[in-house]
Structure 1
């Protein structure tokens, strides 16, 4: 048991450090190459911050553990909407002004699509490719709507790092992500067997929370710095990437049907949280501490249910 826990912890550290290095390196490379802020934030940073979840899900699928792979996708989105948004609002209420409304609609449609795929028990490389085409369509749309309402308050890039050092950061981060992902999945599978819980439950909780820690830190920092659009954009963007990019890559590489046990309540909760998120960004003036507490309570309840 100790070995499984140590493997999981080491994997989480590897994913956290690797993800940070990958983001820093990729952003710096993009700046050096003269890539626009929009493309850097949307494509480069969006892809890089999704790498911990992607590596963990693909490693799990290849290891024959689709429950961990897809549990991570669903659990990461629940963590984004309930844990990250709730914790951020507790630290600093998040002012809203319609920020992220259109992207929240995309996230809701993606969540409903994932639910439908699971209910139909369709597992195919073509479904995976379709999801990947979906993320490409989303990136194309965002690129052609640069004045859309997510991330408009983002800071300008800071001092650039030497290109060689940036490449070293990028490659080092990528290596740590792969190594950390292997350790985390190995430890997670062992923990599921030791504690007698399903691999899906481990994916929904341990793996999902661990791979979402970078987004948690980023959203809290953005809210504290008075950048609500960045905090909201981080959450909704990650939710879209998780389903379309990570889900698509996972099913393309390991075309298994999404575990049916996610239909018990998790996917319904995912859709409900997406609806609630859309309602908040469309109607509310802010996400205050009271709402943050409610979101955290809902997330805690989900964790308890997952292990019962």
Structure 2
């Protein structure tokens, strides 16, 4: 029991550190290669902050832990909105976001619909995975074209310039910590599930999902404190899009993912409802304040209660 808790804690720390180092190194490398700032924001940073989710889901799927693999993706998307947006709003209310965020919110809802459709089948296989990745590529291409046409330059992690040697070190260390962290987290989570008789799906939807969302939590809270609402919100919307079209897509291509009845009947519908609710708030609302944050936290608490009670 204690060893499993240590594994989970160690895995979370390693994933957080590895994700930060990888993004730092990848951004520096992309800048050296002459990639436009906007393209770096849409691809390198967006994908980099989702690396913990990717490696954990991949590792779980390859070990036949489909519930953890799928639960990590679905649970992360739910936690990103009901937990991370809530905490960010509680720390500093968010106001004023641009049309790009509203546009991406629609794509996020489409990702939720795609997930709900995919889990109706017994297995999410390679064909579905390729389709998801194709949609992601189309989305990134369109977003880059639209934002460039509008003259926007999305901001990303304000990492300082680093030397070539440090760039290589950050990338290598990032991957090493991410792989080790994913291994430790999956093994520890499985051990805890067995000890308490909890399903692996519940563990994936909670401990694993929240743990792999730590980079998004740090980014959004810091952005909210600095009054950069677009970054705080855009980080979450972008992460949710990447989680479905990218993480689930790659995972399904590498190892088919089976979906249990709970995902069909409860978790995927909850994720879709939460995504629609958040998209409507972004489309018609003017701010996300502490009251909304409290409501989101309450909704997340209710979701957890229903999850563990089922």
**Structure 2-normalised TM-score?**
0.95
Query: In structure 1, how many angstroms separate the alpha carbons of the residues matched to 2:140 and 2:81?
Result: 21
Residue-by-residue CA offset, 1:151-202 (whole Å, 9 max, x unaligned): 8563796642112211110111011000100000001111111111110000
2:5 and 2:188 in contact (8 A); partners too: yes
Partner in structure 2 of residue 116 of structure 1: 117
Alignment partner of 1:181 is 2:182 = yes
1:267-306 mapped onto 2 (5 Å cutoff): 267-306=268-307
Partner in structure 1 of residue 90 of structure 2: 90
Residue-by-residue CA offset, 1:201-247 (whole Å, 9 max, x unaligned): 00000000000011011001101111111111100000000001000
1:68 and 1:204 in contact (8 A); partners too: yes
Partner in structure 1 of residue 56 of structure 2: 56
Partner in structure 1 of residue 29 of structure 2: 29
Partner in structure 1 of residue 67 of structure 2: 67
With over 3 angstroms needed to count, the CA separation of the structure-2 counterparts of 1:159 and 1:209, relative to structure 1, is closer
Partner in structure 2 of residue 211 of structure 1: 212
Aligned CA RMSD, in angstroms, stands at 1.8
Partner in structure 2 of residue 81 of structure 1: 81
Residue-by-residue CA offset, 1:11-43 (whole Å, 9 max, x unaligned): 111101101111111111112222111111110
Partner in structure 1 of residue 9 of structure 2: 9
2:59 and 2:183 in contact (8 A); partners too: yes
Query: In structure 2, how many angstroms separate the alpha carbons of the residues matched to 1:96 and 1:264?
Result: 36
2:124 and 2:259 in contact (8 A); partners too: yes
Give the gaps of 5 or more residues in structure 2: none
How far does residue 125 in structure 1 lie from its aligned partner after superposition? 1.0
Query: In structure 2, how many angstroms separate the alpha carbons of the residues matched to 1:152 and 1:105?
Result: 21
Equivalent pairs, count: 308
How far does residue 287 in structure 1 lie from its aligned partner after superposition? 0.3
With over 3 angstroms needed to count, the CA separation of the structure-2 counterparts of 1:159 and 1:207, relative to structure 1, is closer
1:32 and 1:160 in contact (8 A); partners too: no
Query: In structure 1, how many angstroms separate the alpha carbons of the residues matched to 2:74 and 2:156?
Result: 30
With over 3 angstroms needed to count, the CA separation of the structure-2 counterparts of 1:274 and 1:169, relative to structure 1, is same
Residue-by-residue CA offset, 1:41-86 (whole Å, 9 max, x unaligned): 1100011101000000010111110000000000000011110100
Partner in structure 2 of residue 193 of structure 1: 194
1:154 and 1:227 in contact (8 A); partners too: no
Secondary structure of 1:144's counterpart equals helix
1:88 and 1:223 in contact (8 A); partners too: yes
Partner in structure 2 of residue 223 of structure 1: 224
How far does residue 264 in structure 1 lie from its aligned partner after superposition? 3.0
**Structure 1-normalised TM-score?**
0.96
